[in-house]
Amino acid sequence: MNLFELTFILVLLAIHFVADFMLQPQAVAIKKSHSILALLTHVRSYTFSTGIMLLIYVWLVPSLRSQLTLISIFQYVVLVGLSHCLVDMFTSKVSKYFYNKNDLHNFFVIIGLDQFLHQATIILFYYITIQQ
């Protein structure tokens, strides 16, 4: 991995942080464990904002504009969005279970697992769709 790839991956992880935490309203974060509508609202917002931020980053870095296609960006965003939905569908229910039992240790273990799975898929899909 070279510095360019590492920088790109760090940008993708920063985009994930903004889209998953900063742009997720508290009500959606609470409701997504038991409401498919809230989960889908979060995933739609996450996927859309990820795509917009990624397009802005690519636009700001001239060397990326010549290397990437809109198709590869679209594929990345769709795969990350779908995987985000699947991960959150599971982890939101399990973390809620532990939170309701006041088992904060296991609650945070699941939150950590959630983030690990998101970050792993971000890196995996980067290599599958963008860094070919």
pTM of the model: 0.94
Q: What is the pLDDT of residue 64?
A: 87
pLDDT tens by residue, 80-102: 999 999 999 999 999 999 999 99
Length of the chain: 132
Q: What is the pLDDT of residue 32?
A: 95
pLDDT tens by residue, 62-75: 888 888 899 999 99
Q: What is the pLDDT of residue 84?
A: 98
Q: What is the pLDDT of residue 65?
A: 83
pLDDT tens by residue, 20-49: 999 999 999 999 999 999 999 999 999 999
